[in-house]
């Protein structure tokens, strides 16, 4: 009998988790208590109401505990799902708009936007991790809070919390590719390496044979083109021999095109997501709604709970499944330090996640991954010390910035816009 707690439960993804809890009850994941926590009381109540209706209408025996106090909501939990957004969508909007003024992509997880999201989120997530280790010492934290890899590195290096850094991007791509490759190669194993939102599928194995390059060519010819993000990733793959994560890979490999597209867009993603969230909340507040709000399909993270539940099941039944997530490197990738977080295939069991050894990074992506990793580690240091010099080093180290004439004014403008005081 398990307890799951969701932190940031007023967010639009909560119904996904509730749906997952209900459907997984027959699969060995016997959750009896669901703790819901959020700093925003109105949104928390709406989501708690929907959670209760979903549970009742499914006839499931799950008690819902609602509290704005993390210590209460997370007490004795086995799993704590963190999906917080410090500063809300208004802060996201700033992260998207200001870099664009300097000709740099404005994105909530990558580049200057991702860095600022990390700066304001890390201190809060460290507090969350510390409270959880106190009130629920055996809990695993399943983190979705972006930038997921950077947040994971901060918590794993600075606290004793047991945290796994989850993201649906690579797992979804594995599902897509497995299906696409099945008719030609049969069942394949798909290995990925890199960082969160800078992941690469670098090895595809069929019947013990490495078929990566044949699989890339086959996928390019046969994927049907309905997913333009995958088209773009496969195009890059022909050159570098590894498939970058869709959408986020384009921010590096089609850098100018992406900046141009963003400049032409009539609205920021923050504005669009604000509308989607309003629609999700409206549906959720309707007493007739007893399932996942339809508007959720318009969020990028739709489907993320399947990763959550595979992870929970693998831990609870000590299965040792191979799941791609962010975890401490500890030598798995030989050309990155041991004490940094990487995103790669991990064995997940009752003790947590262990990266499966990779060896060295493919040369075609090595420099980029090392550079972004350096930026991330500097970002963690800046977030905990609040030192402006470290923040400037972090921003300058990002390959999408790497120009001090831009980094200095950009840093100051963003610090000011977010009301952050660095000295």
82 binds ligand G6P (CB under 6 A): no
> What DSSP designation does 25 have?
G
Residues 54-73 that bind ligand G6P (CB under 6 A): none
Using the rule CB under 6 A, which residue among 273, 312, 340, 372 binds ligand G6P? 273
> Cβ–Cβ contacts within 10 Å for residue 316, how many?
18
Find out whether 10 and 38 touch, Cβ atoms under 8 Å: yes
Which candidate in 13, 144, 248, 304 is catalytic? 248
Using the rule CB under 6 A, which residue among 82, 143, 145, 146 binds ligand G6P? 146
Rounded to a whole number of angstroms, the minimum distance from the CB of residue 169 to ligand G6P is 4
12 binds ligand G6P (CB under 6 A): no
The number of residues in the chain equals 423
Q: How far apart are CA 211 and CA 113, in angstroms?
A: 37
- Count, residues near ligand G6P per rule CB under 6 A: 11
Verify whether residue 248 is a known catalytic residue: yes
Among the listed residues 74, 165, 79, the one whose alpha carbon sits nearest the alpha carbon of residue 121: 165
300 binds ligand G6P (CB under 6 A): yes
Of the listed pieces 1-9, 254-262, 299-307, 389-397, which binds ligand G6P according to CB under 6 A? 299-307
The pairing of strands 352-355 and 341-349 is antiparallel
Half-sphere exposure at residue 12, Cβ-oriented, CA atoms within 13 angstroms: 24
Q: How far apart are CA 407 and CA 395, in angstroms?
A: 6
Of the listed pieces 56-64, 297-305, 325-333, 378-386, which binds ligand G6P according to CB under 6 A? 297-305
Rounded to a whole number of angstroms, the minimum distance from the CB of residue 295 to ligand G6P is 11
User: Dihedrals φ, ψ of 417, to 5°?
Assistant: -60, -35
Of the listed pieces 164-172, 309-317, 374-382, 383-391, which binds ligand G6P according to CB under 6 A? 164-172
Among the listed residues 90, 83, 185, 66, the one whose alpha carbon sits nearest the alpha carbon of residue 144: 83
Q: For ligand G6P, which is the closer residue by CB, 272 or 384?
A: 272
Contact residues: ligand G6P, CB under 6 A: 109, 146, 167-169, 269, 273, 299-301, 304
């Amino acid at each position: 009998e398990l307890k799951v707690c969701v932190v940031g439960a007023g967010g639009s993804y909560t119904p996904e988790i509730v749906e997952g809890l209900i459907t997984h009850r027959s699969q060995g994941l016997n959750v009896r208590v669901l703790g819901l926590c959020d700093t925003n009381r109105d949104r928390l109540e709406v989501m708690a109401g929907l959670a209760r209706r979903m549970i009742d209408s499914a006839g499931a025996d799950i008690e819902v505990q609602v509290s704005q106090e993390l210590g209460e909501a997370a007490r004795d939990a086995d799993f704590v799902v963190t999906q917080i957004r410090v500063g809300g969508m208004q802060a996201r909007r700033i992260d998207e708009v200001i870099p664009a003024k300097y000709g740099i992509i404005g994105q909530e997880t990558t580049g200057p936007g991702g860095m600022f999201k990390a700066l304001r989120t890390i201190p809060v997530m460290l507090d969350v991790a510390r409270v959880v280790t106190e009130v629920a010492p055996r809990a695993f934290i399943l983190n979705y809070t972006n930038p997921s890899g950077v947040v994971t590195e901060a918590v794993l290096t600075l606290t004793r919390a047991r945290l796994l850094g989850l993201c649906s991007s690579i797992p979804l791509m594995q599902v897509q590719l497995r299906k696409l490759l099945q008719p030609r190669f049969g069942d394949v194993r798909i290995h990925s390496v890199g960082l969160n939102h800078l992941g690469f599928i670098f090895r595809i194995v069929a019947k013990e044979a490495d078929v990566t390059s044949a699989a890339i060519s086959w996928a390019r010819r046969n994927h049907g083109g309905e997913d333009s993000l995958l088209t773009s990733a496969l195009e890059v793959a022909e050159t570098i021999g590894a498939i970058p994560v869709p959408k986020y890979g384009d921010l590096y490999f089609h850098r100018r095109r992406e900046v141009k597209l963003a400049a032409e867009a009539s609205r920021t993603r923050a504005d669009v997501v604000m509308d989607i969230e309003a629609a999700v909340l409206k549906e959720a507040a309707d007493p007739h709604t007893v399932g996942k709000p339809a508007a959720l399909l318009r969020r990028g993270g739709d489907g993320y709970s399947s990763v959550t539940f595979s992870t929970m099941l693998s831990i609870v039944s000590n299965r040792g499944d191979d799941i791609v997530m962010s975890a401490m490197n500890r030598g798995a990738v030989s050309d990155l330090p041991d004490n940094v977080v990487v995103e790669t295939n991990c064995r997940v069991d009752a003790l947590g996640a262990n990266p499966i050894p990779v060896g060295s990074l493919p040369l075609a992506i090595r420099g980029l991954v090392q550079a972004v990793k350096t930026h991330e580690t500097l970002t963690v240091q800046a977030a905990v010390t609040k030192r402006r010099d470290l923040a400037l080093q972090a921003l300058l180290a990002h390959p999408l910035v790497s120009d001090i004439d831009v980094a200095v004014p950009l840093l100051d403008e963003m610090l000011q816009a977010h009301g952050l005081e660095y000295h």
